[in-house]
Structure 1
């Protein structure tokens, strides 16, 4: 009887609640999960190891981080980032509106032309503006004056970075404007509101997420830029880190500066996330499928055309014209070797294609995990994948130098380490387009194929991959576009004797040999233009 009572008590005893699985209801295949874990670990490695180095010798690192000079460099960098972000939004918002929602003549052509400055690396744009508008530049010679006002410093860095980064805001703004439900604007106009009031109360609130995303990209880019600020002789955080790395034997202080910059970047991400959440706008219904009606510009048509023309002339025509001038001059004087440029282009293609392939594969793993197997674990992997872009290229390179020289010596100054750094840094650019493509593929199609007995790998190979091919190509194109332009990471991590177009341009412009850098710059632009076109045709700008 006692045993029966004990058994009955056990049956009545409430069962302890089981912990929820970190993988949700559907556990991803082991090989896919292992790939996601490896990608997450690869992204975490640079920042984690940098913090380990700093923690191991905290005194000098703290002295550098808390120094008053560090504070002023940080303040100058933040001021530049804020100024460039504000100016980029001020340019991109009207251009996006004019090329999407008005009857601007040739608006598709203007949209393409206004996006093309993104192809020009900021360090190329900086030296071209110095050559054209500097104190002793081409404009001074044409005017016959001895010297023009200096373009160096904050103003020059602000001008160059604004002209070549505003497309980062323009792309998400145009994408959002195409998706806004026109019924909301129709309702506002029916209530008697004019075009300006309709834009301010209906359209602008829906643009806040796109403006926040684009502004964040610009701010992160400015804070991690090295080439343009160096040519413009502006003391930014990244420039100080590079000078400290090159001049100091004990690089613990350099690691301290890098750690401060990483914390600054993640603080910026947190602030941006709060702003986006505070201004989030959600559609309650499916909306209408018809495209929005184009606003008639009327008497504002010519001012709008003048604005677009002036922007394209300054940000695109002027740099390309100066490049062509210096290229012809370099060929005439023999300062440019086509054989050398071909070899440099080959090295750039090797690094760019390597990073594009690795980045697309890693991004595909992360995107499939997050979209098809949503859970706490896969969302964590996705967040880690996006964190790479918050790490400046110089910080990733610096951390990998510490790691390779202390833990993985055979990897130091190898091409594989450089491609690894580029992949980690630009991985988020590959995740976005693939995520957008996967969102357009119904999971029911894949479930039906699995119900017919096909394995997950067969389903992906025969159904999912062909449907998201455009997103994969767009993501790879974006990684390639940025990898071939990357300067500080390439300068620090490239094998000895391995020069690319980017490093050759930097080496020549840093000593004032504009003729020798013009042909490599033109070739770099020619290589970078097709990926941008591929992204604009196949990719979707996703917040």
Structure 2
């Protein structure tokens, strides 16, 4: 019998694959699984809060607080806002994507970039610009107008990326069967955009339910503005908690509707070779002039209005509005919270991302789903949950930076998780197994091999989390320690005092911080589509 002191036999490909799948039998695998369960249990805190408050309040009180005219008014406002805004965003996103990707529109690369750029402007800065320009603007019309110009890029980006990947051979077949161009678009192209439209619409809808600053500034009551006002007046009263419960149910209903709308259709191209280049529709002069109207108007409304308004207030305020004694500390605290939150959130996503790729299973999908469901809840629900929990069970961390960072982890972990998961999937498992065959522990192999190869994905996820934190308002307002002022909360404090000139520098710095990442998203979208 031949001995194998070097363990060569144990390093065969079959054994390496078996070792990877059985990694949970060792301590390191159990440690990673334990961390994943801990993170997912923390993610369920807001859901547990909603259920716990409902049970504690009692059915009679729930009926009295929920089934009242004020809640009906808020529900009607919210439903109208969602029902009107989302179709307008879909129509604008599809039209702009078609013009910039499938026609010879002059300057279409520039218009494509300008259609993405509004993401760099926080939603409440859009509202600030319009209130400054047209002071009487308020109500549902104002809410729909500002929401569309602030959120339509969430639909434009995935729709444009999908249009780049579609195989024109399908459209050729439809035309050969006698369909006219408009019929080809509505019967062939549009159905293939279903997933992109559904995902973008869900993202817009969740933003509509969660947004506070935009609607508070234009005096349009939604569940989020009502919860915040109720919290400030009664501090953690049952009315605010019940409104938070209704809002959470609205978010879960929207998630369920989007999931059901996906259907079972196939969207992938099957066959050898690569898809041909997309056909570009030639526009005549009259059609070109008409088509240019849409990107010009959308760019003026979404970018021209906020930038011109900021310029006007900066000029009117002069050098006096640049109070470095206030701006620099706000910038410093924003950067510190953004960097710390991005690092902690990305680290918290590592075990879940690793499990979802290296050891996929039903339990791990459940753990991953817990984080997606919680992140869909508005920030104010997460903040109220943490306020209640810390007051009752963890008083030492109430209104501390720890609580703020925990809120950021619960709200933004999926942003890091998606990018990390893609990065780990691109790191060959064989290299990780080879490191273990050479004596490295699973945790060492993960750190030295897999995470190094997944570093670009981790960096992209951390950047997305950082951007979200720098523009976050509601949870920071409720949870931050006394004296904490970020750029977002500083901007909000100035606008609350109707000092729009003093608020302009805060808005400008937030936009400048957001622009590089917005450009990164634009170029990443191009690369993903193979351009």
TM-score by length of 1: 0.87
Structure 2 counterpart of 1:534, from 510, 520, 530 = 520
Deviation per CA, 1:153-208, whole angstroms, max 9, x where unpaired? 11111111110111111121122222222332233334343332222222211110
Deviation per CA, 1:42-69, whole angstroms, max 9, x where unpaired? 2101221232133112243442122232
Contact 1:385 1:427 in 2 (8 A): yes
Structure 2: state its 5+ residue gaps: 1-19
Partners of 2:384 and 2:528 lie apart in 1 by 31
Instruction: Give the superposition deviation at 1:459.
Output: 4.1
Partners of 1:436 and 1:289 lie apart in 2 by 24
Structure 2 residue aligned with 1:252 = 238
Pair 205,523 (structure 1): closer, same or farther in 2 beyond 3 Å: same
Structure 2 residue aligned with 1:307 = 294
Partners of 1:367 and 1:178 lie apart in 2 by 28
Partners of 1:394 and 1:286 lie apart in 2 by 50
SS of residue paired to 1:391: coil
Partners of 1:459 and 1:100 lie apart in 2 by 43
Partners of 2:214 and 2:388 lie apart in 1 by 26
User: Is 1:210 paired with 2:182?
Assistant: no
User: Is 1:261 paired with 2:286?
Assistant: no
Structure 1: state its 5+ residue gaps: 1-22, 135-149
User: Is 1:52 paired with 2:52?
Assistant: yes
Partners of 1:468 and 1:113 lie apart in 2 by 31
SS of residue paired to 2:262: helix
User: Is 1:294 paired with 2:295?
Assistant: no
Structure 1 counterpart of 2:224, from 226, 232, 238 = 238
Structure 1 residue aligned with 2:8 = none
Instruction: Give the superposition deviation at 1:339.
Output: 2.6
Instruction: Give the superposition deviation at 1:464.
Output: 3.0
User: Is 1:322 paired with 2:309?
Assistant: yes
Contact 1:82 1:219 in 2 (8 A): no
Structure 2 residue aligned with 1:124 = 125
Deviation per CA, 1:47-95, whole angstroms, max 9, x where unpaired? 2123213311224344212223212211211210221111111111111
Q: How many pairs were matched up?
A: 504
Q: CA RMSD in A?
A: 2.4
Contact 1:209 1:279 in 2 (8 A): no
Structure 2 residue aligned with 1:4 = none
Instruction: Give the superposition deviation at 1:219.
Output: 0.5
Deviation per CA, 1:196-243, whole angstroms, max 9, x where unpaired? 222222221111011000000001100111111111111101111111
SS of residue paired to 1:261: helix
Alignment map for 1:51-450 (pairs within 5 Å): 51-58=51-58, 59-134=60-135, 150-249=136-235, 251-277=237-263, 281-285=267-271, 288-299=274-285, 300-332=287-319, 334-441=320-427, 443=429, 446=432
Contact 2:321 2:505 in 1 (8 A): no
Contact 2:47 2:374 in 1 (8 A): no
SS of residue paired to 2:375: helix
Contact 1:50 1:402 in 2 (8 A): no
Alignment map for 1:23-62 (pairs within 5 Å): 27=24, 29-58=29-58, 59-62=60-63
Deviation per CA, 1:255-307, whole angstroms, max 9, x where unpaired? 11111111111011111110112566344446624432333233433322221
Contact 1:241 1:258 in 2 (8 A): yes
SS of residue paired to 2:282: coil
Partners of 1:187 and 1:30 lie apart in 2 by 54
**For structure 1, which segment, 509-518 or 336-345, has the greater mean C-alpha deviation from structure 2 after superposition?**
336-345
Contact 2:403 2:479 in 1 (8 A): yes
Contact 2:113 2:522 in 1 (8 A): no
Partners of 1:60 and 1:477 lie apart in 2 by 44
Pair 370,487 (structure 1): closer, same or farther in 2 beyond 3 Å: same
SS of residue paired to 1:235: coil
SS of residue paired to 1:277: coil
Partners of 1:276 and 1:287 lie apart in 2 by 28
Partners of 1:534 and 1:325 lie apart in 2 by 29
Partners of 2:246 and 2:337 lie apart in 1 by 29
TM-score by length of 2: 0.89
SS of residue paired to 1:27: helix
